[in-house]
Amino acid sequence: MIRQGRQNLLKALNRQDKSRCIRRASTKATHTDLTSFLTHATSTNLSTKSTYYVGTLYEYTVLNALRKFNICLHRTGGTDDRGVDLRGRWLLPTHTEYSDGIPVVVQCKAEQRPTGPKYLRELEGATSAEEHGTLVLLATLSRFTEGARRVVMGSNRAMGVVQVGGHEQGGQVGQFIWNGAAGRLVGHELGVKTVFIPGVKGDEQEVGTRVVLTWNGSIIKTKNKIAIS
């Protein structure tokens, strides 16, 4: 049953958006994206209940979700990542090359309970050595609390929180906020709004939502490919 479930996930991935970051993969890497990770998990009979499987699956899910916003990331891995799971750059409409983008680091928390201020304070300290002008994001599986929002908004560091659903639920972005320091990095032209998605469940119409980013009021389109030099 576990193997069949992974095979179904791989089929679903093959039907998804083909937009991606073109990045030279390490010859030592056993997986570099969601598809290769699921293949690796199947070939090694990795338990879907293990912390490694759950955490890595969520990291790649977040990577894919933020890629739709032209935030091009790669997974850092390793035990000395200092709390950073994903690293890369955010290409806004004014950027033409990967090197033009805003540096971004992301920590992922695949926990079901609401995310409180503790994680934001820890992340703020763990990323204090990042270069000036880096945007620090916390990606959470669950909704974040008002206390977490206050920590983000009150920080002098460029920080934000993004809520991303699990892969089994489609990995949609449900919330995305950033503070004033981050706003000065990305510019006042950038906005966020929620749009409705019609769907069908059984014989009834269902309406879902997803977060989109805007630039001067127009929805930002996903770049098909971003070449990393």
Report yes or no: 181 and 158 within 8 Å, Cβ to Cβ.
yes
Please state, for a pLDDT cut of 70, what percent of the chain lies above it. Answer: 82
Pick the more confident residue, 184 or 209.
184
Query: What torsion, rounded to 10 degrees, do the Cα atoms 85, 67, 34, 122 define?
Result: 20
Crossing angle of helices 34-43 and 51-67, in 10° steps, is 160
**Is the pLDDT reported for residue 42 higher than 50?**
yes
The alpha carbon of residue 53 and the mean position of all alpha carbons in its chain are separated, in whole angstroms, by 17
Domains of the chain: which residue ranges? 50-222
Closest C-alpha to 167, from 70, 65, 43, 23: 65
Choose the CATH number for 50-222 among 2.40.350, 2.60.40, 3.40.50, 3.40.1350.
Answer: 3.40.1350
b/e per residue 198-215 (b: at least 16 CB within 10 A)? eeeeeeeeeeeeebebeb
Pick the more confident residue, 86 or 203.
86
Mean pLDDT of the region 20-47: 81
What's the longest Cα–Cα distance across the chain? 54
**Is the pLDDT reported for residue 205 higher than 70?**
no
pLDDT for 200: 53
- 143-178 tens-digit pLDDT: 899 999 999 999 999 999 999 999 988 899 999 999
- 49-71 tens-digit pLDDT: 999 999 999 999 999 999 999 99
Distance spanning both ends of the chain, measured CA to CA: 41
**Is the pLDDT reported for residue 101 higher than 50?**
yes
